[in-house]
Structure 1
């Protein structure tokens, strides 16, 4: 077992280019720091990814006596799990009537059960491991300011599936609403403090964590798998879990079966007490809110502006729209004390992919959480741990990682990949800024044409110019500049890179070429 780790607050901006872009969770948690992998290791299970799914899976396996090594490309909790809205709930918008219509009552009931048990497992782990993560029980609402008709059916269907759902004609959620579906006894918490607790418990159970140890390849050979890292050392294991948002590289073909989605969040202080409970609208544009305890009684977190990764030219405007909504709703001029974004992936049939990857004997995956990864991800971790331990899948194939889906899902996959083909053929590379790099102002970035070639450029706040070849290292798709997050984003499959070209999110595993 490794020695006691040092605890540090995560850097205010993980890429180091926008210190004002930081989640409220990243800014307010001390997270244990672990060594880089410097020598080859042997393990029963290698877990790739130090977010909620990876840490929960690793902990459950270590508690079973497995020798587990967890590899994190950056810092634990530094990407999606540390940038979530931090709602732990089985209420995933108004999803259950749709699930019944698409998949039937049995599948919808399994999904409901899996996610409600995921909520309870988070609460149970926090209690038994004594994790001080600001966890409280609270209602969750999905509401509309326009029509309650669909919500009445949603409440009936959700309740029939065994969920704690009722229709609320007069929800007290602080925003205009003609009705809402209320789920009682749900959970909100501080996700990074929770992950720090999971990591500490995992190491105490005999597990090993290595940070800044990016995995670049997994090769299955005979009776073992070799997990290669960017710096050279290899972990040899009997089984491998890819808990990396989207499986790395070409694994399972998931890059073609899931679409990347990005959402944006702000933390503000209202002029009045913030509404209690967690809420999300069915109206467009979708707005998701929850109390922000660290902001005092008036603290509120607002998330919205969802779009496909790399498909919006001006992401700064999204943060402005969130502030405008807060200002118009509570009649004041708000300031975002924190602002951040997160990425997740959606599947064509609304169900995650969890389990053994197609064509693999030893590689397991978990992806496609539809922005509800705290409950879905905890359920996924339990499924992975049970399968690796040789026991039956607790959800009876609900999240089958090898499924194709029905005609509706297949049609969606075809449509999505036609869009990818269009973007691959030209996409954002057709839009280059005029003027030379010498005219690039501090804080500005984008695509430029230099000597007949496209160059991705950004001038940071110190005046340093960063240039890359704006072509994704995964499959060669053109990249789009994200002006708010200062990242290069791939709309084809969701990879994201720093201005210097370092990988932030996969499926890419290699950095961009520098110009």
Structure 2
């Protein structure tokens, strides 16, 4: 089943020269999702020779199934960050995410990327008790985010309250990703068999790099960490509705089991 972002046929990425034997690059990036492509692009524009590998198509994993909200609002996190790590570190997290929104906007504008990028407010809502929202609003303001509380939303049900972060954003992630990936050396349908030190092994050869970035979401390495023993699967479902009432904001339930809303397309 395809996501809403995969319904539009995008032009294929340029096919790079086949890799044979042992080749060299400054950086190898394994995984051509949003994390991998953005990492590769930032290194590339700073002059590094970067090669990207993906076992499937660029953006074909988690990136294809995202709700594609660009926001520093990650449910109710800032009050917990201040309590757990202190205000200085919490502020670093908040400002890094606010800065990332501006960087997305700058990339879209500077490169003229047609990806339905729009500035929208983001809301996290509570259906029963707004006290946690009040604490989160106070924490966000302390960290420099101009957060406000409201009890008026566009949602098709009543809420106890909603916390608004203004000037967040939404976009079409695959159109954005393909615009950047088109400037890079990306080997699609090329599984990486092994990473040993800074050497990446794949069918037909090996690439030696000064650094290797693993951006595969699920770790492809057993050590260090043995993450496969400690991970569990989480899954959520995205439903695209035609003819539904439009919503100007982006919405997320404060509870993990709740609903997320955003508008896409016309």
Aligned to 1:215: 192
What runs of 5+ residues in structure 1 fail to find an aligned partner? 1-20, 297-515
1:281 and 1:235, CA in 2 relative to 1: closer, same or farther beyond 3 A?
Answer: same
> Does structure 1 conserve the Cα–Cα contact (< 8 Å) formed by 2:13 and 2:178?
no
Give the stretch that moved more between structures: 181-190 or 169-178: 169-178
Q: Write the distance in 2 (CA, Å) between the matches of 1:286 and 1:146.
A: 12
| Deviations 1:241-294 (CA, angstroms, capped at 9, x unpaired) | 1011133121431435554422211101245x322210011246311110021x
**What's the TM-score, normalizing by structure 2?**
0.93
Distance in 2, matches of 1:159 and 1:260, equals 34
Paired residues in the alignment total 263
Distance in 2 between residues matched to 1:125 and 1:69, nearest whole Å: 21
Aligned match of 2:87 in 101, 105, 108?
A: 105
User: In the alignment, which of 217, 234, 241 is matched to residue 213 of structure 2?
Assistant: 241
Whole-angstrom distance in 2 between the partners of 1:54 and 1:29: 22
Counterpart contact for 2:13–2:181, Cα < 8 Å: no
What secondary structure is seen at the aligned counterpart in 2 of 1:263?
Answer: coil
Give the Cα separation in 1 of the matches to 2:167 and 2:120: 5
Q: Does 1:291 align with 2:257?
A: no
Q: CA deviation at 1:34?
A: 4.4
Q: Give the alignment's Cα RMSD to 1 decimal.
A: 1.8
Whose relative contact order is higher, 1 or 2, with alpha carbons under 8 Å and at least 6 apart? 2
Task: After TM superposition, give the deviation of residue 173 of structure 1 in Å.
Answer: 3.6
**In the TM superposition, what are the counterparts of 1:294-333 in structure 2 within 5 Å?**
296=266
Q: How does 1:366-445 map to 2 (within 5 A)?
A: none
1:77-92 pair list within 5 angstroms: 77-92=59-74
2:159 to 177, 183, 187: 177
Superposed CA offset, 1:379-421 (max 9, x none): xxxxxxxxxxxxxxxxxxxxxxxxxxxxxxxxxxxxxxxxxxx
Counterpart CA distance in 1 for 2:91 and 2:256 is 27
Q: Which residue of 2 aligns with 1:32?
A: 12
Is the alpha carbon distance of 1:227 and 1:88 closer, same or farther for their aligned partners in structure 2, counting shifts above 3 Å?
same
2:248 to 276, 280, 288: 276
Q: 2: CA distance between counterparts of 1:55 and 1:283?
A: 31
Instruction: Note if 1:226 corresponds to 2:226.
Output: no
Contact 1:96/1:157, CA 8 A, preserved across alignment: yes
Tell me, what secondary structure is at the counterpart of 1:132? Answer: coil
Distance in 2 (CA, whole Å) between partners of 1:173 and 1:95 is 22
- What's the offset of the Cα at 1:29? 4.5
| 1:263 has 2:233 as partner | no
**Partner SS, residue 267 of structure 1:** coil
Give yes or no for contact 1:38–1:233 (8 Å, CA) kept in 2: yes
